[in-house]
Amino acid sequence: MATRTSTTKTINMIDVFKDFKETKNIDRPTLQSVLEESFRNVIAKIFGSDENFTVIVNPDKGDLEIYRNRVVVADGAVKDENKEISLTEAQKIEPDYEEGEDVSEPVEFAKFGRRAILNLRQTLASKILELEHDNLYNKYKDRVGQIISGEVYQTWKREVLLIDDEGNELILPKAEQIPSDNYRKGETIRAIILRVDNENNNPKIILSRTSPTFLHRMLEAEVPEINDGLISVKRIARMPGERAKVAVESYDDRIDPVGACVGVKGSRVHGIVRELGNENIDVINYTSNTKLFIQRALSPAKISNIIIDETTKKAEVYLKPEEVSLAIGRNGLNIKLASMLTEYTIDVFREINADEAEEDIYLDEFTDEIDEWIIAAIKNIGLDTAKAVLKAPREILIEKADLEEETVDHLLEVLQAEFE
């Protein structure tokens, strides 16, 4: 079946293309495909189908050619005006057309009117936006866990909006910010890419400065031996902005992993400490020996004895009275981090000598003055006697037994009176 094509004048659609020519991160073939698809969608709405149309797009010049292909049928036999043309109408185009031939005639899109042009712009805008979202998601989904720098664009109560070097938006939620950080517009800050959400094809890049991974990546940047694979960061526990513990291991006996990470006079961690809002960083040697690892994690306290329950992942740690406060740390920070690092629940017990034990009184004997639920809460943290409670730091009674300050003060007052 023969096909003939009428001569056509190229339709200039520069005004339609100009908004999309410079679209970032979209290569030319993809953009051309999107433009063609958008035109076909509009054509389908106008004619009911785009199957018999040829669309030629040149986005660089803003050129567009559209041809409608129809089959010549006998007069009165046209059933679908979009796909068929009568012999008489075909011969108006060229006198020698015959039945069964294909007619390819130009269609001037510009003559469809403003509504069609507006429809095209909306379709293009929607598809370009969708393409940009896909590109943004694909760019960042494989970068989760990497450090990125962004410029503070706007600060809100619950999050900070950053802009990367390509103008993409990055979100730093309040929960992922170091408490002491103070962000100012135009300031450049560093964080790791925590995750990339993509609900309804609307990607959101979520950052974090509190994640242990952020500290891990900065150690990699500052300590060449980690980056080279000679030292491994086994575990990290952080209380952001306050203190962190890092367990490291060396694969080369000649390298001291702790010394390498800290650097001469702390030179390698100083920059990291400043970046993290003066967060103190303790670096210890990792070991698979659980008792020894817990002992190192509770440093600088010196442990007298440790009882491990591997089934429940609990550890009972016994110390001399003067070591208890060191093990617990200010506001219980040291023992919290040690538990996080070792992945064991650590209970601290003060050693009591025989003379003290003889003079001591079990808590159960105070039920007439102290509520039973308070005694139960104290016993649950391993303190069974009056002297054991009196020698325990007040903050551990408040935090680990989960008691109000007034309740603890009353408890101590009652117990102290017994020995006066």
Query: DSSP letters of 311-339?
Result: TTTEEEEEE-HHHHHHHH-GGGHHHHHHH
Q: Residue 84: enclosing H or E segment and its boundaries?
A: strand 84-86
- Which residues are CB-neighbours of 154 under 8 A, at least 6 positions away? 160, 161, 185
Structure tokens at 309: 């329950």
Note the maximum CA span of the chain: 125
**pLDDT string in tens for the chain (420-residue length):** 455 544 333 344 545 555 555 555 566 677 778 778 878 888 888 888 888 888 887 766 667 788 889 998 898 888 988 898 898 888 888 888 888 889 888 887 766 777 777 777 777 778 778 888 888 888 898 899 999 999 999 999 899 999 998 888 999 999 999 998 889 999 999 999 999 998 887 899 999 999 999 999 999 999 999 989 999 999 999 999 999 999 999 998 899 999 999 988 888 999 899 999 999 999 999 999 999 999 999 999 999 899 999 999 999 999 888 888 888 888 889 999 999 999 999 988 877 665 554 577 888 778 888 888 888 888 888 788 888 888 888 888 888 888 888 888 888 888 888 776
Which 3 state secondary structure label does DSSP give 26? coil
| pLDDT on residue 9 | 37
* Under 8 Å between Cβ of 34 and 128: yes
| pLDDT on residue 390 | 85
| pLDDT on residue 11 | 42
- Number of other CB atoms surrounding residue 367 within 10 Å: 11
- Number of other CB atoms surrounding residue 160 within 10 Å: 24
Domain boundary assignment for the chain: 3-137, 150-210, 217-286, 352-419
| pLDDT on residue 151 | 94
Q: Phi/psi at 211 (nearest 5 deg)?
A: -65, 140
Q: What is d(CA 247, CA 230) in angstroms, rounded to the nearest whole number?
A: 14
Q: What is d(CA 14, CA 59) in angstroms, rounded to the nearest whole number?
A: 8
State the angle between helix axes of 267-275 and 212-222 in degrees (0 to 180), rounded to the nearest 10.
140
- pTM of the predicted model as reported, rounded to 2 decimal places: 0.65
Question: For 3-137, CATH number?
Answer: 3.30.1480.10
Instruction: Give one DSSP letter per residue of 123-150, joined into a string.
Output: HHHHHHHHHHHHHHHHHHHTTTT-EEEE
Q: What is d(CA 137, CA 88) in angstroms, rounded to the nearest whole number?
A: 55
**Residues in the chain, how many?**
420
| Identical fold, 3-137 and 150-210 | no
352-419, what's its fold? Answer: DNA polymerase; domain 1 (1.10.150)
Q: Are strands 3-5 and 102-106 parallel, antiparallel or unpaired?
A: parallel
Q: What is d(CA 85, CA 236) in angstroms, rounded to the nearest whole number?
A: 76
Structure tokens at 415: 């117990």
Q: CATH number for the 217-286 domain, one of 3.30.300.20, 3.30.2130.10, 1.20.1090.10, 3.40.50.300? A: 3.30.300.20
Q: CATH number for the 150-210 domain, one of 1.10.357.10, 2.40.50.140, 1.10.260.40, 2.102.10.10? A: 2.40.50.140
Q: Are strands 243-250 and 280-285 parallel, antiparallel or unpaired?
A: parallel
Structure tokens at 154: 């706007």
